[in-house]
Chains A and B, each alone.
Chain A
Amino acid sequence: DAEITQSPRHKITETGRQVTLACHQTWNHNNMFWYRQDLGHGLRLIHYSYGVQDTNKGEVSDGYSVSRSNTEDLPLTLESAASSQTSVYFCASSGAEGQGTDTQYFGPGTRLTVL
């Protein structure tokens, strides 16, 4: 069955370190998204991609970057981790026009703690 996976599921790191969170989907979806979820804020969009070599900033992109070298993967990098980036991170994907609906399917999430 097609799926979307994230790794690691839990990560503890120190302030200033570079961290990369992986997201891999086998839906063959063109669109991929990264969100963070914090109490009181709900899900907020960090970055998104509509296809290979395409990346776009979301509403909370500062301190984060993504790259899309193939259809299946959209890794999220925290260039220099800060305590304010302690959060739960969700990756999601959806089919482009012609591939179906804009319904997004979410990965299981990564809990990141920055000490």
Chain B
Amino acid sequence: RKEVEQDPGPFNVPEGATVAFNCTYSNSASQSFFWYRQDCRKEPKLLMSVYSSGNEDGRFTAQLNRASQYISLLIRDSKLSDSATYLCVVTPSTSNYKLTFGKGTLLTVNP
């Protein structure tokens, strides 16, 4: 099982749609979880951290299920500007600052 697995997509959705991305991780000792966003030919940028209780930032909601080792990202009311690759990212442990990246899910929001 790969350390971090994501559906590569692509996801093509119309503006205003709700889209959900899923991610699974193999290391049950993983401590920190993130979603990064990467625009074409640009660097990855932090979208949001993922907390055990789930968290929301505007149109974006992230959830973590430690028992199932599963992370999700929900985007509501999609905008054209949401078109990007979304990377699921996991930190193996609190004493290790390395990140493990999924390969990313490509989202295209169409007018």
In the assembly, what is the distance between CA of A103 and CA of B45, in Å? 10
B44 touches A102 (CB 8 A): no
Pairwise interchain contact A31-B104, C-beta atoms closer than 8 A: no
Chain A, interface size category, equals: 20 to 34
Smallest CB-CB separation from B91: which chain A residue? Answer: A102
B1-50 with Cβ < 8 A to chain A:
32, 34, 42-46, 49
Q: Are B34 and A33 in contact (CB under 8 A)?
A: no
Cβ of B79: which chain A residues have Cβ within 8 Å of it?
none
Which residues of A sit under 8 angstroms from B98, Cβ to Cβ? 33, 45, 48, 58
Instruction: Tell me, yes or no, whether A98 is within 8 Å of chain B by CB.
Output: no
Q: Please name all residues of chain A whose beta carbon is closer than 8 Å to the beta carbon of B76 when the two chains form the complex.
A: none
Q: Which residue of B lies closest to A50 (CB)?
A: B97
Instruction: Give the residue name and chain of the B residue nearest to A93 (CB).
Output: B97
Residues from chain B with a CB closer than 8 A to the CB of A101 are 49
* CB closest chain-A residue, reference B104: A42
Known: A33-B98, A94-B97, A96-B97. A106 touches B43 (CB 8 A): yes
Q: A103-B49, A109-B43 are in contact. Are A41 and B103 (CB under 8 A)?
A: yes
| 24 pairs of residues in contact across A and B, judged by CB atoms under 8 Å | A31-B97, A40-B103, A41-B103, A42-B103, A42-B104, A45-B98, A48-B97, A48-B98, A58-B98, A90-B43, A94-B97, A96-B97, A101-B49, A102-B32, A102-B97, A103-B46, A104-B46, A106-B43, A106-B45, A107-B43, A108-B42, A108-B43, A109-B42, A109-B43
